[in-house]
Amino acid sequence: MKKLLYIYILFISIVSFAQVKEKDSLPDNIDDYVFVKPGDTLTVKFNEFSLFPKHKFKSRDDIRYYLWFRRKVFKAYPFAKLASQRLDTLNARLARIESKRKQKKYTKRIQKYIEGEFTDQIKKMTNTEGRILIKLIHRQTGKTAFNNIKILRSGWKAFWYNTTANVFKLSLKTEYHPESVNEDFLIEDVLQRAFQDDKLNKQDSKLNFDFAKIISERKAKVNVEEYKKMFAKIRKKQKRKKKK
């Protein structure tokens, strides 16, 4: 059984600290985005043989919510990318160590290193960023956080960690499905465009999906309604607090 110890540490940190309330503000700079109305002709952006149509927003205001979400993806992606790299390195090293005792000793040493590398930064994550990170871990490693923990700590431990995460509206069983889940589509859209523009270092997904086909079927429409509702709730709470 491969020792995926760093995954355990990473997600225990998420479960422990992802309850931080969101205090985000929407970006004002939307000049780089074009509002495409129904019936308009879409322009095509070409780079490295990838063809992506311009985003199709319902309103200019929706662009602000997309930019806010993009910032969340940019923050979470490097953690998922690094976790995948650590997994590959750890597994390759363990494959060369025959002694189980030495394997255990090595994983303990990696545990301390990874804990110091991730914990402090993950503490600062919001619920949205934690949820995106959980999904990206599935994208980058090919396994959900729950299954990674199950391999490491047994199904019983994974059950309790997932139950704890649910208290904060996070599930370690969350999978990544850009072909059917709107938020996952937005995440992949952000990633692919960032890869094109060299704003993020590309790391291929270990899941099989055809994003070019997905975005074509969706006609590049950007749906941010769930985030608009989320911010509306936050504003209501803020107004109630002011009245008190």
Query: Hey, what are 9's tokens?
Result: 């540490």
Instruction: Judge contact between 69 and 224, C-beta under 8 A.
Output: yes
> To 10 degrees, what angle do helices 100-122 and 5-17 make?
30
Q: What is the pLDDT of residue 6?
A: 47
Q: What is the pLDDT of residue 32?
A: 62
Instruction: Judge contact between 184 and 177, C-beta under 8 A.
Output: yes
CA distance 186 to 90: 31
Instruction: Judge contact between 140 and 84, C-beta under 8 A.
Output: yes
β pairing state of 50-53 and 44-47? antiparallel
Kindly state the average pLDDT of the residues 166-171: 79
| Lowest-confidence segment of 94-103, 124-133, 150-159 by average pLDDT | 150-159
220 has pLDDT over 90: yes
Kindly state the average pLDDT of the residues 79-95: 83
DSSP 8-state code for residue 48? T
Kindly state the average pLDDT of the residues 84-88: 81
Boundaries of every domain in the chain: 5-243
Q: Where are the alpha helices (DSSP H) in the chain?
A: 5-17, 60-95, 100-122, 127-141, 145-167, 182-196, 211-218, 225-243
Q: Give per-residue pLDDT as tens, 114-137.
A: 666 666 777 788 999 999 999 999
Angle at 130 between CA 124 and CA 132, to 5 degrees: 135
Q: What is the CA radius of gyration of the chain?
A: 20
More confident residue, 243 or 218: 218
Query: Hey, what are 21's tokens?
Result: 């309330």
Closest CA to 62 of 229, 200, 236: 229
Q: What is the pLDDT of residue 136?
A: 95
Instruction: Judge contact between 31 and 186, C-beta under 8 A.
Output: no
More confident residue, 83 or 234: 234
Q: What is the pLDDT of residue 33?
A: 64
Provide CB contacts within 8 A for 104, sequence distance 6+: 3
181 has pLDDT over 70: yes
